Structure 1
């Protein structure tokens, strides 16, 4: 009866959505549950990896990395499994610190991953007892979820695990997926030691992952019961991938397996429906691997399990989501376009990008993956984490990547019309700007902001985000400086910064390719107190720099406008000009209109200082007069260094 009600819920939900004509529903719109049932086998023959006992196959598969893998396993042979204490969970409430609880759990999972891979590589049984110990220790935990996540899914709203409440979050899903592969490869080996080991693993995965997923529709990332202010982000494909893995590898009741898999398909449809059809990742490149990348993992394992019969890799939006990672690459020290919470450095995992490109038939992605692989030690790109599926897939694709020619995307403009991102390249410059609205996933109040790089080095920047704490995803989020528009490359209008909310957005957004110009009205991104009727901003990228023009109208202004610019190196202020990057570029402004100053922003957060060093700098151009209407012009020009 429970399975019937679950399926009925989905079918009625899908029918309603499709009648609205708003959603793609690429999975459940094209494949019904009977298609899924007919495509699923009753065994694990779909798994494309060798059996544990097939030593020749594992030797061949792991050849490029075998020595390193076994070395990592040896280092974990004497690893002492850590206990995550109750006070570690409580610390999140007491101080907002997440890492006290997360660090020991992450280290336990890393050790288990290294042991699992080492035993598959060597096959002599040396690592089995430690794999058993690590797996057993995880099953004795009260929860596999993180303290920072529990409150969102428990009636207590607290960070300590709540009795009789099972939560599927990112960590719980990752642990369930990892243990599902442990169970798959070592079930027979464990049974020769004591059958209770495999039985316990299976029961724990079912009770902590499969059953709560089937029973609950209120976990926000499932996107079945979203509140008006909630968005669908990378949690959706990430968690659904983990649940799907557990269902495929552990669940042996065909009815439960069918209902669960189809439910994941309906949930993932909601993520694809939410993502703009232009394919841009509004969370930025450093989240691409957890958003589009996890969607790819989900679609890949679903395709494998159905022998390719349920497959949507031919859909343009799936390909566009993949190619976003190549388009967003700037170069130099792996600089990338980083709006929202994304880091300015990254570039993505070459092996993941290659596999994705292979399945969507994108030579751009495959060539970019080879380019990224060539930027350092090639074998260092194999970096197994607790996501063991990616490790196995990396091993399978590595020899193929070596046969691809390395190249970067050759286009000089990339326009994402729905997400409202623009990337332009001309001469030594890479320019990116955004429209959008102020309730995007991992949102910063940054409508109309831009970044500019010269010779693959940062000039005007987006700082990104610091280390996550309790405040980061709370009502106090916008008290953090990195989230505020005052620390992005946009104006403070009549004393007001931009506000948070979907209603605070760009209007009249347009890209004019013939002029190499991006223009928009950012006035609606500011609160009513700003009294701004419109603030039209345009960016034009020229051969030797960037032109910025602001035209505005304000009702009854009371405070002077301030134009902010965030830069990576200390500026040198002169009359009507500001020298940047040791004189490599100059920002020109009207000295009759503005007074120029700057402030130093110390970077005492390791997540930021690792990218930017000890300091960042905020330029403030303060208008000398208060006007109800006017125009401002700023030009940025490359300078010849003698």
Structure 2
């Protein structure tokens, strides 16, 4: 899509020089800064005022070593990100106010960050050639947060260079030196970073566009040598093509809506940078894949801040308003830009804050705020969607409204990026409220990736809405997949059917397990989960799992009620002669998960009453 179409000669002719690349006004260019809405100006100035005469938090060697000693990723990562978020706030506030009162704190922040041995986080130290509890200063790897840091410092340089030079020319020289040594030189010299995709040693995921978006910005804002700038652009396009090649044309994000911010969203950022750095000459925004990648996020949208959260995604996701808005405007999709405008209206102040202090998005939010406020867009509540590449369907009762039943279900395979073992899994919402859910993801630790990933309960199929046969769960790996997947969509019904036999180990003793999941739109709308199964031997060890945040009410044999705090109520009807119902309480002691669901979840188990080797089960879910 990129490298073959836009060759070295194209880049040489069209790439703007450092002097001519002006993505946003500098602090000295006052007209646009003064035109920023007063409420946005006030938000950032008040935020920065809390950091006046700031004592920048200390980051110690033993705090870094805590990851290798205990597996904790939070303590060090939080300190690292706090420094960057605070510096970003101070830089934006100084550009808005232009009185110089934040400059000393900005200089201290820049100097602290430049003094850090490693700009990344301990959890990514595995990329270093020598493995040790502390980072190797002689091995400047490029990972997510090292690249983010380089961009933050580059923006401080770009926006405030004249003011910084008044205090000391050493500040900008130090930024230039550190970014060159840690990011710019390794980026051009090395091809062995797995996220570049040149060695194909690991499956590419959000790391590819996420790292490239930041490395590209560092080159565009800091690099004086035009030939090196051109080399970086060409290398980025070759590597981005590696990522794009593995995507399905429908644009589905297998990593879930949370990671769309850093997968499809970061690819959009890369393409925006390439577009801007060539004065619009490099333009692939009319490509169906690029448009579909943007549309994915409203296809996964449920209501409020709820999204269909398969993989390592929370059910509650705060998508940056400006990202959806800019993406929608660029591809002329009023549903996508409209969802951005909705997000802004929901949380006006928070919509100007971007996680991880990604300054490109933060500045875009500041300068697009007034435009977003006035946008009406179109309703993002689509009735049906099918993402065949990742085998995900979504359906709701009616177009343009969150009222009624909502269903999302998936097939796929168990080697997806940020995978959970969840083939045949589904979620159900009612009037935008979660009723039958995917627990989502907890706080990342050293177990979250690599060999111990599936020791975490929320990654296991036994804690998704799936069968458990002979005590055997689904296994990880691409061979553990859905087969014979069929999606059907009509006015009266939307459904997905599949055989999930191969998702399980042979020890489960499954000959065939065909599951169909349907939203039926009739006078009494309902969701039907039908399982037709054949086993190798008789067994009574069969359970169907249903996860919910609400205490189940056992109305009578064959009927379970779920009711939320708004008195929305669903009935779950099952064959009481075939299954006995019970409930397990799951206490949530993880802050990330409890912020979404509260203190506990409930796992309903429908367990076979007698031994069988074949049968049909129908679970019907409808409104009271």
Query: What TM-score results when the alignment is normalised by the length of structure 2?
Result: 0.94
CA 1:380/1:83 → structure 2, altered by over 3 Å: closer, same or farther?
A: closer
Contact 2:335 2:377 in 1 (8 A): no
Distance 2:540 2:131 in 1: 42
Q: What's the offset of the Cα at 1:303?
A: 0.8
Aligned to 1:275: 247
Deviation per CA, 1:314-353: give whole Å up to 9, x if none: 111111111111121111x422110011111125222211
Distance 2:582 2:431 in 1: 26
Deviation per CA, 1:113-154: give whole Å up to 9, x if none: 111111111112222222111111111111101011112x11
In the TM superposition, 1:468-507 aligns within 5 A as: 468-507=444-483
The correspondence for 1:319, drawn from 277, 280, 291, is 291
Q: What's the offset of the Cα at 1:100?
A: 1.7
Aligned to 2:16: 41
Moved more, 194-203 or 336-345: 194-203
Aligned to 1:591: 576
In the TM superposition, 1:77-96 aligns within 5 A as: 77-96=52-71
Aligned to 1:185: 159
Distance 2:354 2:289 in 1: 28
Aligned to 1:21: none
Distance 2:34 2:4 in 1: 42
In the TM superposition, 1:212-231 aligns within 5 A as: 212-227=186-201, 230-231=202-203
CA 1:375/1:57 → structure 2, altered by over 3 Å: closer, same or farther?
A: closer
Question: Which segments of structure 1 move beyond 6 Å, counting only runs of 4 or more?
Answer: none
Aligned to 2:401: none
The correspondence for 2:182, drawn from 205, 208, 211, is 208
Aligned to 2:351: 381
Distance 2:210 2:410 in 1: 26
The correspondence for 1:580, drawn from 552, 562, 568, is 562
Q: What's the offset of the Cα at 1:355?
A: 0.6
Aligned to 1:552: 533
SS at match of 1:628: strand
Contact 2:59 2:79 in 1 (8 A): yes
SS at match of 1:432: strand
Aligned to 1:135: 110
Q: What's the offset of the Cα at 1:161?
A: 0.7
Deviation per CA, 1:218-264: give whole Å up to 9, x if none: 2221122222xx32111111110010011111111222221122111
The correspondence for 1:409, drawn from 373, 377, 380, is 380
In the TM superposition, 1:109-188 aligns within 5 A as: 109-151=84-126, 153-188=127-162
* Structure 2 residue 520 is matched with structure 1 residue 542: yes
Distance 1:310 1:518 in 2: 39
Distance 1:193 1:456 in 2: 54
SS at match of 1:636: strand
Contact 1:62 1:121 in 2 (8 A): no
Q: What's the offset of the Cα at 1:559?
A: 5.4
The correspondence for 1:346, drawn from 317, 340, 354, is 317
Q: What's the offset of the Cα at 1:523?
A: 0.7
Q: What's the offset of the Cα at 1:558?
A: 4.8
Unpaired runs of 5+ in structure 2? 399-403
Moved more, 113-122 or 48-57: 48-57
Q: What's the offset of the Cα at 1:84?
A: 1.4
Distance 1:411 1:130 in 2: 47
Q: What's the offset of the Cα at 1:557?
A: 4.8
Contact 1:285 1:325 in 2 (8 A): yes
Q: What's the offset of the Cα at 1:421?
A: 0.5
* Structure 2 residue 389 is matched with structure 1 residue 418: yes
Aligned to 2:548: 567
Aligned to 1:7: none
In the TM superposition, 1:516-531 aligns within 5 A as: 516-531=494-509
Aligned to 1:396: 367
Deviation per CA, 1:376-430: give whole Å up to 9, x if none: 4x34411145211111111222222233225423531101111101001116100
Distance 1:393 1:402 in 2: 14
CA 1:410/1:478 → structure 2, altered by over 3 Å: closer, same or farther?
A: closer
Contact 1:371 1:407 in 2 (8 A): no
Contact 1:546 1:637 in 2 (8 A): yes
SS at match of 2:424: coil
Say how many residue pairs are matched. Answer: 609
SS at match of 2:448: helix
CA 1:559/1:94 → structure 2, altered by over 3 Å: closer, same or farther?
A: farther
SS at match of 1:402: helix
Distance 1:78 1:191 in 2: 20
SS at match of 2:375: coil
CA 1:516/1:42 → structure 2, altered by over 3 Å: closer, same or farther?
A: closer
* Structure 2 residue 51 is matched with structure 1 residue 76: yes
Contact 2:334 2:378 in 1 (8 A): no
Distance 1:370 1:51 in 2: 27
Q: What's the offset of the Cα at 1:632?
A: 1.2
Contact 2:26 2:95 in 1 (8 A): no
Moved more, 320-329 or 403-412: 403-412
CA 1:370/1:190 → structure 2, altered by over 3 Å: closer, same or farther?
A: closer
SS at match of 2:124: helix
Moved more, 201-210 or 28-37: 28-37
SS at match of 1:300: helix
Unpaired runs of 5+ in structure 1? 1-25
Q: What's the offset of the Cα at 1:524?
A: 0.8
* Structure 2 residue 276 is matched with structure 1 residue 304: yes
Q: What's the offset of the Cα at 1:39?
A: 0.9
> What is the CA RMSD across the aligned residues, in angstroms?
1.7
Distance 2:460 2:132 in 1: 28
Distance 1:140 1:623 in 2: 62
SS at match of 1:198: helix
SS at match of 1:556: strand
Contact 2:147 2:183 in 1 (8 A): yes
* Structure 2 residue 223 is matched with structure 1 residue 251: yes
Distance 2:382 2:96 in 1: 43
The correspondence for 2:606, drawn from 621, 636, 641, is 621
SS at match of 1:100: helix
Contact 2:421 2:459 in 1 (8 A): yes
Distance 1:62 1:247 in 2: 31
SS at match of 1:61: coil
The correspondence for 1:295, drawn from 260, 263, 267, is 267
Distance 1:168 1:254 in 2: 22
Q: What's the offset of the Cα at 1:193?
A: 3.0
Aligned to 2:337: 366
Deviation per CA, 1:1-36: give whole Å up to 9, x if none: xxxxxxxxxxxxxxxxxxxxxxxxx11121112111
Q: What's the offset of the Cα at 1:435?
A: 0.5
Moved more, 567-576 or 235-244: 567-576
Contact 1:463 1:482 in 2 (8 A): yes
